[in-house]
Amino acid sequence: MATYVVVGLQYGDEGKGKITDVLSAKSDYVVRFQGGDNAGHTVYAGEEKFVLHLLPSGVLQCPGKCIIANGVVVNPKAFMHEISQIEEKGMRSDHVFISRRAHVIMPYHILLDTYREEEEGGTQIGTTKKGIGPCYEDKIARVGIRMVDLLNPEVLAEKIRKNLKIKNSLFEKYFEKPGIEFEEIYKEFLEIGQKLKHRIVDTEVELNQAIHDGKNILFEGAQALMLDIDFGTYPYVTSSSPSTGGVCTGAGVPPTSLQNLIGVAKAYTTRVGNGPFPTELNDELGEKMRKVGQEFGATTGRPRRTGWLDLVSLKHATMINGINNLVITKLDVLSGIPSLKIATKYKTEDGKIIDYFTSSTTKLYNYEPVYEELEGWNEDISHARTYEELPANAKKYIEFIEDYLGINVYLVSVGPERSQNIIRKELF
């Protein structure tokens, strides 16, 4: 019995949800530790398609408990909506709990996120407008409202009043928009607290006990390392730590308890929102990847930008995360492309060749990827279930990634369905 961490290694949407869903069947706990309903995780259960945002992707199959831990920012209305969506499809939800310490996304966070994105002359990050950044800002500024506060009328009233004073002045004076009335939201959030109180618990105590008891615990990351607040392409990032390190602060478990660190990467690269993307393809091939890979945002519906696999950024991501097991998804999408490029180095604006990721986001726009070219394959690989069934060139592609990163690929995903996996080593 052991702990498992699943994190994204690129710019999100690597297929973490599908992998978590598969692994959750044998987990006693599935735990979200950061992010919020900015995530969009697609899971197919037979004919049924689920798009999960705030709920852990393990919610459908986990026989134990699903925890939304302290590091997550919770929009309680989005939470209740998602719960009713899965219940309507006949799934259980009585095993989902939220940490008392998790911060609440309030309506003013969503407005602030939206106004900033729409502000002329501002830095448009291309956020999901779910209020994620503003909620984490308040957490760090020590003025945030936590789930536990929804259960205490006096504390909630005082916190909302104090927050509205500042937020309304910003809305009215700076953005020239109407403010929010106290009564409008106080009563609503008090009622929400009552509706959710049976789910609001101290999750860190239970999780540490479960580790002590040798249970199977799966920590599920949202977003990905290249969107990490510290190690991503700042400021074009999200406002949390989607790294394996984020598990410790986001769920209250010690670093020594983390064992299997699983990094998920697509066989190519996609990105939604703004920011540098060195291997981006703004051509027919990029369009083909988008079409074949169905690359449209699961949360906002925006078309995802597409491009070649970037091993320079992937090495950065595996290093920071300490990944010891790789998952490569969507290999099937590359079938039929005669020649496949993989970036192994960058050429800087002054002609220097480097093989490490840069902290200078502005410079990255001018870096050119240096590619290695590998022969493609024509076969449809979506029915392959063993590594041996893959065409020789598909295997070479996987092994090229392994050699560069020095990490084994333990699972190759060849389609969106639960069964479309090549598992080379059973981890559970």
Binding site for Mg ion (CB under 5 A): 13, 40, 298
Identify whether 139 is a catalytic site residue.
Answer: yes
Q: Which of residues 291-320 bind ligand IMO (CB under 6 A)?
A: 298
When binding is defined by CB under 6 A, the residue of 107, 126, 179, 391 that contacts ligand IMO is: 126
Identify whether 283 is a catalytic site residue.
Answer: no
Q: Is 410:420 a contact under the CB 8 Å cutoff?
A: no
Choose from ligand IMO, Mg ion, ligand GDP, none: what does 272 bind? Cβ within 5-8 Å by kind: ligand IMO
Q: Which of residues 8-37 bind ligand IMO (CB under 6 A)?
A: 8, 11-13
Q: Which of residues 339-378 bind ligand GDP (CB under 6 A)?
A: none
When binding is defined by CB under 6 A, the residue of 5, 9, 36, 41 that contacts ligand GDP is: 41
Does 376 bind ligand IMO (CB under 6 A)? Our answer is: no
DSSP E strand boundaries for 330-382: 339-347, 353-354, 368-375
User: Taking the complex as a whole, how short is the minimal distance between the CB of residue 275 and ligand GDP, in angstroms?
Assistant: 17
CA distances for 255 relative to 13, 34, 207, 261, 360, angstroms: 26, 16, 13, 11, 29
Does 273 bind ligand IMO (CB under 6 A)? Our answer is: yes
41, 53, 167, 266: the catalytic one is 41
Q: Is 312:343 a contact under the CB 8 Å cutoff?
A: yes
Does 8 bind ligand GDP (CB under 6 A)? Our answer is: yes
C-beta nearest to ligand GDP: residue: 17
Size of the site for ligand IMO (CB under 6 A): 24
Q: Is 231:225 a contact under the CB 8 Å cutoff?
A: yes
Does 127 bind ligand IMO (CB under 6 A)? Our answer is: yes
Size of the site for ligand GDP (CB under 6 A): 22
Nearer to ligand GDP, 131 or 415 (CB): 415
Supply 193's token pair: 């607290």
User: Taking the complex as a whole, how short is the minimal distance between the CB of residue 425 and ligand GDP, in angstroms?
Assistant: 18
Query: Is 117 marked as a binding-site residue?
Result: no
When binding is defined by CB under 6 A, the residue of 192, 298, 323, 384 that contacts ligand GDP is: 298
**Lateral strand order in the sheet of 217-220:** 200-201, 96-99, 65-68, 29-32, 217-220, 3-8, 260-266, 325-329, 409-413, 421-423
Within 10 A of 282 (CB to CB), how many other CB atoms are there? Answer: 11
Nearer to ligand IMO, 12 or 415 (CB): 12
CA dihedral 391, 393, 396, 401 (to 10 degrees): -100
Does 279 bind ligand IMO (CB under 6 A)? Our answer is: no
Does 332 bind ligand GDP (CB under 6 A)? Our answer is: yes
Does 330 bind ligand GDP (CB under 6 A)? Our answer is: yes
Instruction: Report d(CA 241, CA 249) in Å as an integer.
Output: 9
Per the listing, tokens 């969506």 go with 85
Longest CA span, the chain: 66
Q: Up-side HSE of residue 127: CA atoms within 13 Å toward CB?
A: 29
With contacts defined by CB under 6 A, name the span among 137-145, 254-262, 293-301, 369-377 that binds ligand GDP: 293-301
Helices marked H in 89-232: 107-118, 132-140, 153-169, 182-196, 203-212
Tally DSSP H helices, then E strands, for the chain.
12, 20
Nearer to ligand GDP, 69 or 227 (CB): 227
Q: Up-side HSE of residue 416: CA atoms within 13 Å toward CB?
A: 16
Identify whether 291 is a catalytic site residue.
Answer: no
Binding site as annotated, residues for GTP: 12-18, 40-42, 304, 330-332, 413-415
Residues that bind ligand IMO (CB under 6 A): 8, 11-13, 38-41, 125-128, 130, 132-133, 222-224, 227, 238-239, 272-273, 298
Q: Which residues are catalytic?
A: 13, 41, 139
